[in-house]
């Protein structure tokens, strides 16, 4: 995890050194996420709950671009046991996420543009309350895809994320997460 943070910090420093080159930008971002954890238990239903993301993004390229990010994410979902209403609880997790997105500008309108993007997301678990499902996995791999709009220095994204790997270490339990995220970023460069 330390290597990931150092690598991202070096990328941001390198991008500031090349600030005069068109097509390089970076800055902070915040997001509101709505996540829903799913399990392989038939008697369990999950519903979305809001959470948040805080982080940094960098963008390299113009029409076709690479956008690595480093974000702290808090996600939760309400879990309802159909058989026993007293067993309802909220499943929560906090992670350090490293999405690496490939994007393409669909429309360039001068002061703004419309983008589409997709790529893998590497997620390091910082904390959770997975006690009902055994231990949580410490590392997960997922994917993200979405659309974004750039307006001057603002960047607004709507994206869908899914965790491919099993978030529970217990071999009999399968836990995955679906999330819808709406983010706002500020391009410092």
Q: Are 95 and 76 in contact (CB under 8 A)?
A: no
Q: Where are the domains of the chain?
A: 2-186
Q: Are 79 and 37 in contact (CB under 8 A)?
A: yes
pTM higher than 0.85 for the full model?
no
Per residue in 85-115, pLDDT (tens digit) is 656 777 788 999 999 999 999 998 888 999 9
Q: Are 90 and 49 in contact (CB under 8 A)?
A: yes
How high is the pLDDT of residue 13?
A: 55
Mean per-residue pLDDT for 29-40?
89
Mean per-residue pLDDT for 140-162?
96
Architecture of the 2-186 domain: Beta Barrel (2.40)
- Around Cβ 185, how many Cβ atoms within 10 Å? 25
Q: Which token pair is 103?
A: 């994007």
């Amino acid at each position: 995890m330390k290597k990931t943070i150092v690598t991202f910090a070096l990328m941001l420093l390198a991008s500031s050194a090349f600030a005069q080159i068109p097509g390089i930008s970076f800055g902070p971002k915040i997001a509101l996420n709505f996540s829903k954890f799913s399990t392989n238990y038939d008697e369990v239903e999950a519903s979305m709950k809001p959470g948040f993301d805080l982080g940094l993004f960098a963008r390299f390229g113009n029409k076709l671009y690479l956008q690595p990010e480093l974000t702290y994410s808090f996600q939760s979902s309400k879990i309802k046991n159909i058989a026993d209403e007293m067993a309802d609880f909220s499943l929560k997790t906090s992670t350090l996420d490293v999405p690496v997105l490939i994007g393409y500008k669909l429309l360039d309108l001068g002061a703004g543009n419309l983008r589409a993007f997709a790529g893998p997301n590497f997620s390091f678990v910082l904390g959770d309350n997975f006690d009902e499902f055994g231990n949580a996995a410490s590392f997960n791999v997922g994917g993200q895809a979405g659309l974004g709009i750039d307006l001057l220095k603002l960047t607004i994204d709507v994206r869908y994320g899914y965790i491919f790997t099993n978030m529970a270490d217990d071999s009999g339990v399968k836990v995955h997460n679906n999330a819808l995220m709406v983010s706002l970023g500020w391009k410092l460069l």
